[in-house]
Amino acid sequence: MSFALATCAAYPALTADDQHLARALTARGIDCVTPIWDDPREEWRGYDAIVIRSCWDYHQRSGEFLAWLDQLEQHGARVVNPIPLLRWNLQKSYLRDLAEAGVPVTPTAWIGRGDTTPLAEVLRRHDWPEAVVKPVISATASGTWRVGREPSEEEEARYAAQVRHCDMMVQPYVRSIEATGELSFVFLGGRFSHAVRKRPRVGDFRVQSDFGGTVELAEPGDGLIQQAAAVVAAAPLSPLYARVDACEVHSDLVLMELELIEPVLFFANEPRAPVRLADALTALL
């Protein structure tokens, strides 16, 4: 079998974390290659499966990325996760669908592109003393920032500039992130695999390692795992891999993100995890 672990130009040999998966597949005798998703010379029909992995620039070129998915679909390529699920997950408006399905989601104000409502008015309407502002299409906290109840002129200008170019979302700042961090639950082959706790560096709210955040293996209780599994089950299709990012509030999970496109799966923190995903991928075929 021949698998393509799709990546981007910045990571031609995959990210360090995804290299663990490549080694697990190679150990099974699978021809594992790492083509760049936007390479016009690539012949995608030659692979038994295309696994979306280190495509970490998709949010910066979402139109091109969607067009590429359309092309794969037209060619009848087998893509993991399924293309309809990737399209659904590309915009964070999927959180609306999950909320309607009964998933506890962080409250969100959805701001359409071109809206002229000042940020201060958005905060007053919801009575949020602090908030986080982010584009509806983003990754790795791109374009994401924190604001207080009374935005400065510079902050209003920054917000207005963003809304002119894209749909935006505003959410209340979850202060518990500073104390207890954020939990990420990883599901592989439809089953819970492992979880990690991500913490921001002192003085920041972003948990990503790019901004000084730290990661450690976590052991959440069965109740929290079941709640995370319910989030995955609420997706329109079953993913082969998924990551549920959530905060724990009064012993319950409040969803921040359901990552189904190219999330870090923290293979380095759980050595058995890449084997689990490799097994699930080979079983799929």
Triad 39, 143, 36: Cα angle to 5°: 10
d(CA 193, CA 43): 33
Q: Helix and strand tally (H, E) in the chain?
A: 9, 13
- C-alpha radius of gyration, the chain, whole number: 19
Smallest Cα–Cα separation from 188: which of 139, 232, 218?
232
Q: 3-class DSSP state for residue 255?
A: strand
Strand pairing category for 182-188 and 191-199: antiparallel
Residue 202, judged by CB atoms within 10 A of its CB (0-12, 13-18, 19+), counts as: exposed
Contact yes or no for 109/147 (Cβ under 8 A): no
Q: What is the pLDDT at residue 202?
A: 72
What angle, rounded to 10 degrees, do the helices at 119-126 and 153-165 form?
100
Q: Look at phi and psi of residue 250 and say left if phi exceeds 0, alpha if psi is from -120 to 50, else beta.
A: left
pLDDT tens, the chain, 285 aa long: 899 999 999 999 999 999 999 999 999 999 999 999 999 999 999 999 999 999 999 999 999 999 999 999 999 999 999 999 999 999 999 999 999 999 999 999 999 999 999 999 999 999 999 999 999 998 776 788 999 999 999 999 999 999 999 999 999 988 877 778 899 999 999 999 999 999 877 766 666 766 667 889 999 999 999 999 999 999 999 999 999 999 988 889 999 999 999 999 999 999 999 999 999 999 988
pLDDT for the residue 217: 95
Say how far apart CA 189 and CA 193 lie, in whole Å.
9
* DSSP three-state, residue 87: helix
Closest CA to 277 of 8, 23, 82: 23
Token pair 């050595």 in the structure block, residue: 271
> Residue 212: its pLDDT value, please?
64
How many residues does this entry show for the chain? 285
Cα(5)–Cα(50) distance, integer angstroms = 6
Closest-CA residue to 25 (of 58, 56, 48, 57): 48
Does residue 185 contact residue 228 with C-beta atoms inside 8 Å? Answer: yes
**Distance separating alpha carbons of residues 16 and 11, to the nearest angstrom:** 9
Query: pLDDT value at position 16?
Result: 94
Outline where the chain has alpha helix (H): 16-26, 62-74, 83-90, 94-100, 119-126, 153-165, 176-180, 222-233, 273-284
Q: Give the pair of three-digit tokens for residue 260.
A: 């189904």
Q: How far apart are CA 237 and CA 218, in angstroms?
A: 27
What is this structure's pTM? 0.93
Q: Is the peptide bond before 269 cis (omega within 30 degrees of 0)?
A: no
> Is the separation of the CB atoms in 230 and 241 below 8 Å?
no
